[in-house]
Each structure stands twice: as C-alpha cells, then as structure tokens.
Structure 1
Amino acid sequence: MVNKMAKVKVTQIRSIIKRPKNQKATIAALGLGKINKSVEVENTPQMQGMIRKISHLVTVQDA
C-alpha cells in the first residue's frame, strides 16, 4: 500500500537579493532560485515549516 501525500505547488515570486542566508538556503533546498520558477512538493510538516519561513517570497497552491 502506498500512502499518497497531498502535494502543493510552490512558486517563487520575489527575489532573494538582500535576504538572510537562511532564507536563501531554504529557497535552494526547495529547488527554487529564479522568479516564477515552480516546484511540486509533498505537503509534510517539514515542508510546511520551510514554506512558512519564506512565505513572503513564494505563493502556494494545491497541486
């Protein structure tokens, strides 16, 4: 049995220029880095925490 997790689409909408290192690292860990780039990630508590840290730089949609 495979447990299907819900996925969310995360899109970077703001630049990471002049942002703290931890925010730049979080963007990189999610696989983002350029404005308007999108990735689909599983909606786990760990991902929710990462998204919350950079919520002012990204938009989130259900995938």
Structure 2
Amino acid sequence: MAKIKITQTGSPIRRTKDQRATLIGLGLNKLHRTRELEDTPEVRGMIKKVHHMVSVEG
C-alpha cells in the first residue's frame, strides 16, 4: 500500500481535545515533526479532521 508523509505545521494550542487527540493518534505532537504512514481511509479521515494543522505529501 502507498505511504503518505504528514508534517505538523500548526499548533494545537486553543484547539479542541479531539483535534489534539487526533494529532497524537497520527504520531504528531510537536511542530515540524514528520511521520510516514500507510494511506488508509482511517488515516485520511484523521488528516481531514486536522487538515488546517498538517501538510501532506504523496
């Protein structure tokens, strides 16, 4: 399966608890941290929820 690269670009300060939890679920908890994850519908849904705080490649 394909991989996608996700980088955190926004701060979770003043965001809702579920958005913070979503970032942690993606493996992101500090600015400019990058993770390479499988491109699954579950991961895409998580990215959609926090699209304003992450950038996606691939």
- Specify the TM-score bucket, using the shorter chain as the normaliser: over 0.9
Which of 47, 52, 56 does residue 51 from structure 1 map onto? Answer: 47
Q: How many residues align?
A: 58
Given the two structures, how large is their TM-score scaled by the length of structure 2? 0.98
Mapped partners of 1:50, 1:14: distance in 2? 15
**Could you tell me which amino acid in structure 2 is paired with residue 30 of structure 1?**
L
Root-mean-square deviation over aligned CA pairs: 0.4
Is 1:42 the counterpart of 2:38? The answer is yes
User: Identity of aligned pairs, percent?
Assistant: 48
Runs of 4+ residues deviating >2 angstroms? none
Is 1:6 the counterpart of 2:26? The answer is no
Q: What runs of 5+ residues in structure 2 fail to find an aligned partner?
A: none
**Offset at 1:11?**
0.1
SS of equivalent residue, structure 1 residue 34:
coil
Partner of 2:24: 28
